[in-house]
Structure 1
Amino acid sequence: MRRLSLRLKLTLLAAAGLLALVLAQAAVLRVTLSTLVQGHVVEGLEHDLDTLYARLLESERPPAEFGAALGLVYSAPLSGHYFRIQGPGGVVRSRSLWDEDLKTPDVPVGHRRITRAPGPLDQRLVVLSRGYRIDGDRVTLSVAEEVGPLADAVARWQGRFLWATLVAVALVLGLQLWVIRRSLRPLDAAVAACRRLETGEARPVDDRGPREIAPVLQAVNRLVRHHGLRLNRSRRALGNVSHALKTPLAVLGQLADDLDAGGDSATARALRTQVSAMTGTVEREMRRARLAGKDHPGAGFQVRGELRSLAEVLERIHGGGVTLDLEAPDGVLPLDGEDMLELFGNLLDNAWRWAASRVRVRLWVSPRHTLEGIIEDDGPGLPAERRARLGQTGAVLDEGGGHGLGLGIVQDIVDQYRGDIRYHGSVDLGGLRVEFTLPLPGYGEDP
């Protein structure tokens, strides 16, 4: 399951927060504008209602004729301004209602009520009703005004405001994403440094960054320095030990000769056997040091060039007579150069020692971003039961010497890179066929 990136999480959280804020703002704005519109309309209706009540008290004319006193809008048919008087004598409506009636509530004396009701032609009305007592009778006066056009205008303004707000939110999110990318860019450099570390290239990163990220960058730099120092120290110690053992082994060989000269041939023979085994191990380590080269950068593996150099070294070690048939990609692969020289050095050394005249190497990068290869020789090969033991510590190719450390080291390197190696019989050449796969760290991927 693919995990969400930190950038996407922060952006989604910000988007959710801003959208919630916009929705809350839209709801508050809707209620506020509706209240303001209704308050403005009710304020005018209060004036008309007071005028209607005063005319009703002062005039002896029929109430239906009060429309002219309130304004022409109460006389013009379906004008959107209406009044209604409900008393003991029945209901009196303004001329503007024409043949329509207005639904109004029954309000107690001294109280008022604001309602919304449909009017003629489906007009949206705000109705203000108030209860009065006139000449001992209870009368309800109601005035109404259409608010549909005003409400529509407010709705259009609110829609435009909402769209403008959404555009502003999109711009803010884009700016935030840019800021997040810029702030987290040092982490990309840290990831790249760790990937280079996998290939053996110990290069520190710039530890200047946000206060929350700077400790991570400093920790990566400490790891890079520690890894480089430890790797160099271990490889130098290996070479030093190999050199240091040569003199004691020579002394033991001389001691075996002295024992043989003194008549203790059995002890001398046993001592020479052990000295020969230790000398073979030391020679193998010295050969690995020569194959790896001196002060190799370790930053990437130049496949074709390095393998050609290995072939030249092996020809000097084992003598001529073996031809290398090489097919390999050009360029530098993101693999530790020292590790690869050790791996190919041991595999080619074994192939060279047993080949009659030919060693074939085929390497390629698969679509799965792995280095895959086949190394074959035209030597005598090995039976299947002995091939199954190759790569194990102590397994040997020949009965005459060697402790199988070379292929054991090869197996360790392959395991370190989480790769795979298999040993078969070569169908074409007749000798041993080695097939291996090594994942390429970060090869073909975005940082």
Structure 2
Amino acid sequence: MRVKFRMIGPRSLTARVLLLATLWSALALVVISIVISQLYRQSAERAFTDLLRAQLYNVINSITIGDDNKLAGSPQLGDLRFSQPETGWYWIIEPLGTFAATPLSSSSLGTSNISVPSILAVPFNNRYERFYPAIDAYKNHVLVAETEVVLDGDGRAARFRVSGNLAVVEEDIQAFTRSLYIALAVFGFGSLVVNGLAILYGLQPLDGARRSLERVRRGEAERLEGEFPREIMPLASDINALIESNRRIVERARMQVGNLAHSLKTPIAVLLNESRAVEKVQSDMVRSQAEGMQAQVQSYLNRARIAAQRESLLARTELEPVLERLVRVMRRLNPEKEFHLSVFPPGVALAMEQQDVEETIGNLLENAARFCETGVWITATPTSGPQSGEGETARRSWVEVSVEDDGPGLEPDQIREAMKRGRRLDESKPGAGLGLSIVREITGEYQGSVELTRGTRGGLRAQLLLPGIAKEAS
């Protein structure tokens, strides 16, 4: 059972590596920013708690019980916010139990107070301290540090509370977070640029190998050329060895085809000569069979040669010069008829041997010139080719060549009959009836196609789909 894996994401290796590196860097920077900001928040909140604890014990150390049995003392915490109203920074001292002294508070609290949660809701820790959030009368979110202290030997005690505005912590965290995001963004952008340059530099040898292979495919070079790193050199060497092996196979096939053609040429010529010495009925039959045999042999020799070099990277033919040469020949042979040629864009090339291109299109031109009334129209243009299928065949470049005449044309059933080997619909015209079948066989060997329809000018229109050579991507 054959399992097919479909490629996900961009086909370019460079684009794929850049995309993965970018996504990973972005994800890593996001995670790092979240982790650092959370760690800083914990550190800032812990420092804020320690500050409130220090201020709480400063207040405790500043308060005593006076001779009048009242709370006495004036805490100096060195922070003006404890003396400014509505700041959220307060200290409060409240007598407990039977100690009926007047409570003391910072001037910033004014006449308001901060609610105290129950001990069950917020218990004291092992240091007999507790910290809890609260909202003062001015809608400030504050953190309160609280403890209870016995002030003298008589057991008189008081509750000490110090609060700080949590907005200070949030502002500090937000300022740090903004700076962190800016720094990470700059670092991330720089990292992406450096990573991109490193990836492009690292993959440059692969791009060089691709361009070298494109030059081989376009017929501009016979092997991969250039300096390749150690990791790519074995691949380049194997490709060069494959190209050389393919070239030897093609040359050997061509030699064998030539030898076979040469060995059959003399016997067939002898048969044709001997046919002239017998009676006309036998002569016509022998000559017809010999000509048919000659055409059949040539057709199968062509198919063998095409099969030997069909997959060769070196097969390349510039289409426009070949068509211009064929049109010049047809104009000389048919001076009374017009031949119109259009190739767009210029420089279209086929992945075919020149001999096969000439034989394929030449057969169509001969048929069109034989049956047209006034002229023949030839057009060639790149096309998307087959839309179905997978693999190299579906992705390769294709060229559509159209040969149309203004003759009587053919009906659908006549088109099917004309594509059969040796069938001639008009016996008054010269020919062996092999032209269209040869065209179909050659195009089929190159994985192309031929289609006959009625053209816009009323005559027959032959559309060839032939393998092209894509231009190198920039």
Alignment CA distance shift 1:407-1:7 (3 Å): same
Of 385, 402, 406, the match for 2:413:
385
Aligned to 1:95: 106
Is the 1:129–1:140 contact (alpha carbons within 8 Å) kept by the matching residues of 2? yes
Aligned match of 2:43: 36
Q: Report how far residue 83 of structure 1 moved.
A: 2.0
Matched, 1:169 2:176: no
Q: Which residue of 1 aligns with 2:339?
A: 325
Return the letter of the residue paired with 2:90: Y
Amino acid at match of 1:341: E
Q: In the alignment, does 2:253 pair up with 1:248?
A: no
Matched to 1:307, the amino acid is: L
Q: Does 1:407 align with 2:436?
A: yes
TM-score (norm 1): 0.73
Amino acid at match of 1:34: R
Selected match of 2:291 from 276, 292, 303:
276
The whole-number CA distance in structure 2 between the counterparts of 1:270 and 1:179 is: 76
Residue 82 of structure 1 aligns with which residue? 90
Q: Once the 2 structures are TM-superposed, how far is the Cα of residue 301 of structure 1 from its aligned partner?
A: 1.6
2: distance between equivalents of 1:179 and 1:151? 40
Paired position in structure 2 for 1:423: 452
Equivalent position SS for 2:418: coil
1:49 partnered with 2:56 = yes
Gaps of 5+ in 1: 289-296
Give 1:113 shift: 2.3
Q: CA deviation at 1:162?
A: 0.4
- Matched with 2:379 is 363
Q: Quick check: 1:346 aligned with 2:358?
A: no
Which shows bigger deviation, 18-27 or 89-98?
A: 89-98
CA contact (8 A) 2:129 2:145 kept: yes
CA distance in 1, matches of 2:61, 2:129: 17
Contact 1:195 1:441 in 2 (8 A): no
Instruction: Supply the distance in 2 between the matched residues of 1:118 and 1:139 (Cα, whole angstroms).
Output: 22
Cα pair distance change 1:149/1:403, threshold 3 Å:
same
Per-residue CA distance 1:312-355 (angstroms, 9 max, x = gap): 55689xx6656451322273203135242232123234445x35
Q: Structure 1, residues 267-294: CA drift from partner, whole Å, max 9, x if none?
A: 9887655433223446779999xxxxxx
Q: Deviations over 1:42-94 (max 9, x none)?
A: 44433333333344457557776433455574862436542233422478342
Q: 1:13 to 1:376 in 2, by over 3 A?
A: closer
Residues in 1 aligned to 2:248 and 2:338: alpha-carbon distance in whole angstroms: 36
Aligned pair in 2 of structure 1 residues 386, 75: CA closer, same or farther (>3 Å)?
closer
- The 1-side partners of 2:300 and 2:59 are apart by 115
1:152 Cα offset (Å): 1.2
CA distance in 2, matches of 1:395, 1:66: 125
Q: Deviations over 1:198-252 (max 9, x none)?
A: 7666654446556666665555545544554444544454344323311232455
Q: How many residues align?
A: 428
Q: Secondary structure at the match of 1:421?
A: strand
1:160-181 CA-partner distances (Å, limit 9, x unpaired)? 2202312321232233334434
8 Å CA contact 1:77–1:95 kept in 2: the answer is no
Question: Aligned to 1:389, what secondary structure does the other structure show?
Answer: helix
Residues 221, 194 of structure 1: CA spacing in aligned structure 2 closer, same or farther, 3 A cutoff? same
| Secondary structure of the corresponding residue to residue 306 of structure 1 | helix
2:28 to 21, 27, 37: 21
Please show how residues 3-14 of structure 1 align to structure 2 within 5 Å.
4-5=9-10, 6-14=13-21
In 2, are the aligned partners of 1:329 and 1:365 still within 8 Å (CA)?
A: yes
Structure 1 counterpart of 2:9, which letter? L
The letter for the 2-side match of 1:4 is G
Backbone CA RMSD of aligned residues:
4.6
- The match for 1:129 is 146
Distance 1:207 1:156 in 2: 55
Q: State how far apart, in whole Å, the 2-side matches of 1:375 and 1:275 are.
A: 31
Matched, 1:116 2:133: yes
* Contact in 2 for aligned 1:421/1:435 (Cα 8 Å): yes
Say if 1:269 and 1:32 are closer, same or farther in 2 by CA, change over 3 A: closer
Paired residue secondary structure (2:83): coil
Identity, % of aligned positions: 23
CA contact (8 A) 1:373 1:436 kept: yes
Measured in 2, the distance between the counterparts of 1:366 and 1:64 equals: 100
Please tell me the residue identity of whatever aligns with 2:343.
Answer: P
Q: Alignment partner for residue 326 of structure 2, among 307, 310, 317?
A: 310
* Paired letter, 1:130: T
Separation in 2, partners of 1:146, 1:178: 49
In 2, the alpha carbon distance for the partners of 1:248 and 1:125 equals 113
Change (3 A) 1:34 1:351: closer
* Mapped partners of 1:202, 1:442: distance in 2: 16
Is contact 1:48–1:70 with CA below 8 Å preserved after alignment? Answer: yes
SS in 1 for 2:138: helix
**Does the C-alpha gap of structure 1 residues 227 and 133 become closer, same or farther in structure 2, counting only changes over 3 Å?**
farther
5+ residue gaps, structure 2, are 1-5, 304-313, 385-396
| TM-score normalised by L of structure 2 | 0.70
- Give runs of aligned pairs for residues 284-295 of structure 1, distance below 5 A: none
d(CA) in 2 for partners of 1:77 and 1:380?
A: 107
